[in-house]
Chains A and B, each alone.
Chain A
Amino acid sequence: MYSVELRGATKRYPGGGAEPVVALDDVDFAVEPGEFVAVVGPSGSGKSTLLNVLGLLDDPTEGWRLLGGTDVTGLTVAERTAARKESIGFVFQDFHLLPTLTAVENVALPTAFDPGDESDRAADLLDRFGLGDRLDHEPSELSGGQKQRVAIARSLINDPAVLLADEPTGNLDTETGESILAEFERVKEEGVAVVAVTHDPLVEEFADRVVELTDGVLEGGIPDETDPTDDASPAPDADSATAPEER
């Protein structure tokens, strides 16, 4: 079973003219648990759209999306939010930490409004990424590499199945970028599927598989293309979708 999977996913935006812009064109894509996939392609090829659709931030116009074998194509806004929180971690090029929160609070942000206190777990995660002495620092007191480590720790606070990274090394120098990619290797060893869209050749070096997206068309999206239909993916059925509770 794949951690995350797209089948025949198409995304069209209403463009300026009569013809809609096709950002994703019948894309088949799947990532296995513990696999690190790099998605490369020129600017405007649909990489960000692919990541948004995978990360339940955006819905495909056509096709199916599965998360851990469950159809999550047509969820409500509240269900999508809950599914993101539960199963997906995001790492952004600009780190996107909240400037008013300390490192620990940023890591615990996804759980900040839950009854329990996840500070200890957040501190453990930061410690794991070598930031044990920066727990109460605000983002402005951290270097770029440290911020990205905090962001990775945040993406892992809920033990996600998938980590989605948008140009994770884009704002980092080569040396820091390498150390961040080394962290991704550790993350994937824990069974988390990692998908990074990137322009950085360094990311391709670390990836298990590199797929190229050109004008919305993806080649080699499925790990073993010999027979995509014999897989355990059942015909997606909206009724079988587990609808996460609204929180």
Chain B
Amino acid sequence: MSGGGIARWLRGWRPAVSMAARNLRRNRVRTALAVLGVCIGVLAVAALGIFGNVLALGADDAIGDIGTQVVVSPNADAGVESLSAADVAAIRRAVDDPAVGDPAVVPLYSDNAVVEGVTSQTFATIYGVEEPGLAFEAAEGRLPERHRQGAIVGAGVAEDLGVEAGDTVGIAGTRVRVVAVLAESQTFSPVAPDDAVFLPESAFAADGYAQALVVAESGETARAAADAIREGVNAREERVDLFELAAIVDEINGFFDLLSTFLLGLGAISLVVAGVSILNVMLMSTVERRQEIGVMRAVGVTRRDVLRVLLAEAGLIGAAGAAAGTLLTVLLVAGLVAATPTVDAALVLDPTNGYYLLLALGFGVGVGLVSGAYPAWKAANERPVEALRS
């Protein structure tokens, strides 16, 4: 359609919209209630949509890290009890490829022991690690490049025992100085660093590693690394098991997508109810104004123009409700963010939330037009001679 065509088309609607606005003002309460219905429906769609999206974004934010880790452990089914130095070397060779992002490989010895603080004690996993800085971050103290002496304590253990960097802890009867306390882990990981203590490899007399941690830059490179290890290390014999978190992340994301859709569906139900209320209002209104519409038809107003007036009425109800509902959603979300500091404002301000606002706005206007279509069509097509008789 050309620009002039659109302008002409819009001009054709102007008298209809003006007449529709006046008709809506005749029964303000009824109009207001119908607008309120759409407003609530739009609020429900937009707010629940944004709620689901924020949940998904927050979850993605929290579990995004674990998707970057691959845990390699010996395949006990194949009789492999531990990872040998040769296995670790094979893993390093397999991922030593720019295509998989050259991830760090951190082999871990593993044992369990009671860890004693000054006044209390706790049961913890004890790992032996050489290069802790590749996989973990310190909250207190500094992670040594090569772990040669002392203990690095997970956040949970440090809290339980009330120890800080510089204190000593007792492990299996020996006192060891705490060189660093790890930052609380933001993510779920089978290594569970919060409840662990990391000692140098020399503290372990074991003849093989319990597992190896492959730390990649992103979920994609982690998956590529896992594939490379499967091909490189497991080619002849299934020596290792891979615990790949990226697949779990995908499943979790899938769940949140489903949750979002479910919440949107809930909102949509209230919008459908609002549509029914518009349908009801328009049907009542056209029945009440049957004679007026008959007069318009009798004096030469075309069916199309009568249809336009009535559609404009329903459209105006939908548009007003949608605008109010969208505004209300923005205020509600802003209020919630202001009132609950735990909600990350960055998640709420994410541009994808705007998509749900627009979606709800469009649905609101659409519901108005769809619900108004039948009453408008019915009234416009009634024979004026019948309409005038009553």
Taking Cβ atoms with an 8 Å cutoff, the residues of A that contact B are 52, 55, 57-58, 77-78, 81-82, 84-86, 89-90, 92, 96, 98-101, 109-110, 112-113, 115, 154-155, 158, 246-247
**Cβ A96 vs Cβ B295 within 8 A:** yes
Closest-by-CB residue of B relative to A246 is B302
Given A78-B302, A81-B302, A109-B301; A99-B385 close (CB under 8 Å): no
**Cβ B385 vs Cβ A52 within 8 A:** yes
Interface range on chain B (Cβ under 8 Å from partner): 20 to 34
**Cβ A100 vs Cβ B295 within 8 A:** no
Q: How far is the CB of A232 from chain B (nearest CB, A)?
A: 27
**Cβ B302 vs Cβ A110 within 8 A:** no
Closest-by-CB residue of A relative to B292 is A98
18 contacts between A and B (CB under 8 A): A57-B383, A81-B300, A81-B303, A84-B299, A85-B300, A92-B295, A96-B388, A100-B22, A100-B25, A101-B22, A109-B296, A110-B301, A112-B301, A113-B301, A113-B302, A113-B308, A155-B299, A158-B300
Contacting A at CB under 8 A, from B8-28, are 11-12, 15-16, 19, 22-23, 25-26
Main secondary structure of the interface of B (DSSP, over half): helix
**Cβ B15 vs Cβ A57 within 8 A:** no
**Cβ A113 vs Cβ B299 within 8 A:** no
**Cβ B292 vs Cβ A113 within 8 A:** no
B384 proximal to A (CB < 8 A): yes
Tell me which of B15, B22, B291, B388 contacts A113 (CB under 8 A): B15
**Cβ B385 vs Cβ A96 within 8 A:** no
B206 proximal to A (CB < 8 A): no
5 closest A-B pairs (Cβ-Cβ)?
Answer: A85-B300, A100-B22, A113-B305, A57-B385, A96-B295
Q: How far is the CB of A88 from chain B (nearest CB, A)?
A: 8
Contact string against A for B residues 286-304, beta-carbon threshold 8 Å, 1 for contact and 0 otherwise: 0000011001111111110
Closest-by-CB residue of A relative to B26 is A100
Contact string against A for B residues 30-57, beta-carbon threshold 8 Å, 1 for contact and 0 otherwise: 0000000000000000000000000000
**Cβ A100 vs Cβ B299 within 8 A:** no
Q: How far is the CB of A54 from chain B (nearest CB, A)?
A: 12
Q: How far is the CB of A51 from chain B (nearest CB, A)?
A: 10
Q: How far is the CB of B9 from chain A (nearest CB, A)?
A: 12
**Cβ B297 vs Cβ A81 within 8 A:** yes
**Cβ A113 vs Cβ B16 within 8 A:** yes
Contacts of B298 in A (CB 8 A): 55, 57, 84, 90
Given A113-B305, A115-B11; A100-B300 close (CB under 8 Å): no
**Cβ A100 vs Cβ B23 within 8 A:** yes
Contacts of A101 in B (CB 8 A): 19, 22
Contacts of B26 in A (CB 8 A): 99-100
Contacts of B303 in A (CB 8 A): 77-78, 81
Contacts of A247 in B (CB 8 A): 302
Distance of A148 Cα from B302 Cα, bound (Å):
24
Distance of A101 Cα from B299 Cα, bound (Å):
15
Distance of A78 Cα from B26 Cα, bound (Å):
30
Contacts of A113 in B (CB 8 A): 12, 15-16, 301-302, 305, 308
Contacts of A246 in B (CB 8 A): 302
**Cβ B388 vs Cβ A57 within 8 A:** yes
**Cβ A100 vs Cβ B19 within 8 A:** yes
Distance of A58 Cα from B388 Cα, bound (Å):
12
Closest-by-CB residue of A relative to B293 is A98
Contacting A at CB under 8 A, from B63-93, are none
Contacts of B297 in A (CB 8 A): 81
Tell me which of A58, A86, A98 contacts B300 (CB under 8 A): A86
Contact string against A for B residues 267-303, beta-carbon threshold 8 Å, 1 for contact and 0 otherwise: 0000000000000000000000001100111111111
- 7 more contacts with CB within 8 A, not counting A58-B385, A100-B22, are A78-B303, A85-B299, A98-B295, A100-B25, A109-B301, A112-B305, A113-B305
Q: How far is the CB of B330 from chain A (nearest CB, A)?
A: 34
Contacts of A82 in B (CB 8 A): 300, 302
Distance of A77 Cα from B382 Cα, bound (Å):
11
Distance of A76 Cα from B297 Cα, bound (Å):
14
Contact string against A for B residues 354-390, beta-carbon threshold 8 Å, 1 for contact and 0 otherwise: 0000000000000000000000000000011100100
Closest-by-CB residue of B relative to A82 is B300
